[in-house]
Amino acid sequence: MRPEPYPGRLAGFASVSAGSVLLLALLILMALPGWAEQQDRPVLPDDSYPDLAGETRHLNEWTGQVVLLNFWASWCSPCLTEIRHLIRYQETYADQGIQIIGLGIDDARHLKNVQRSLQINYPVLVAGAEAGKTLLQAWGNDSGMIPYTVVFDRDGRVAGAHRGVFDDPVFEELVAPLLGAD
C-alpha cells in the first residue's frame, strides 16, 4: 500500500478537542489548488491525552522533532507487527530528531500489557476505545482503518499520512527526507 501524501477528507468530529477541530479546518484548506506550497499545512495541535502512567501529555510538546503519530489498538494484529518497526525507528533515529508517539484507541490496561510485552520505547498515550473512529476521522482517516500514522515535520506541520503498516519503504519515502533537514 502506497503512503498517502497528506490526510484525506474528514467527517464526524463532534467529540474531538478544539485542537482537532482546528486541524479539520486546516485539512479542508488542503483541497484548494496550490495548498502544499503554502505554509498553511495543519500543525501538531495542543491536544492532550494521558500516558500509561496517567500523566497528561500534550502533542505539541514534541514540536521541533519529526513526529510519527501512530494510531493503534491492542487487538489489531497489523498494529502489533508495525510496533516492532516503530521501536527500531525510535531506537535508531532518536539522535536525528525522530519522536514516535503511540496513540492507543483502546483500554489503558490492554495498551500497558502490549507496551510491557513488546518493550515499547516511545510514549504511548491513551485516547480510549470510545473516541477511536471519530478521532481517526478527525485526523484524516475516514475509513477508520488502523494502524494509521500521521507524520509531522520539525515545524510541527503535517508532512504525510499512511494507512496500514508503517514499514521501511514507507519510512524511506515519508520520514527519511525529514530527518536530513535541520
Mean pLDDT of 60-71: 94
Q: What global pTM score does this model have?
A: 0.78
Query: Residue 24 pLDDT more than 80?
Result: no
Q: What is the pLDDT of residue 130?
A: 82
CA atoms of 78 and 81, how far apart (whole Å): 5
- Beta pairing, strands 66-72 & 148-152: antiparallel
Query: Residue 10 pLDDT more than 80?
Result: no
b/e burial code for range 164-174 (CB count within 10 A of at least 16 → b): bbbeeebbeeb
CA atoms of 40 and 158, how far apart (whole Å): 10
Residue pLDDT, tens place only, 95-120 = 999 999 999 999 999 999 999 999 99
Contact 156, 63 (CB under 8 A): yes
Q: What is the pLDDT of residue 181?
A: 52
Mean pLDDT of 80-84: 97
3-class SS letters over 39-77: CCCCECCCCEEEECCCCEEEHHHHECEEEEEEEECCCCH
CA atoms of 170 and 148, how far apart (whole Å): 12
Tell whether omega for the bond before 3 is within 30 degrees of 0, i.e. cis: no
Q: What percent of the chain has pLDDT over 70?
A: 76
Mean pLDDT of 162-176: 96
**pLDDT band at residue 18 using 50, 70 and 90 as cut-offs:** very low
b/e burial code for range 66-80 (CB count within 10 A of at least 16 → b): bbbbbbbbbebeebb
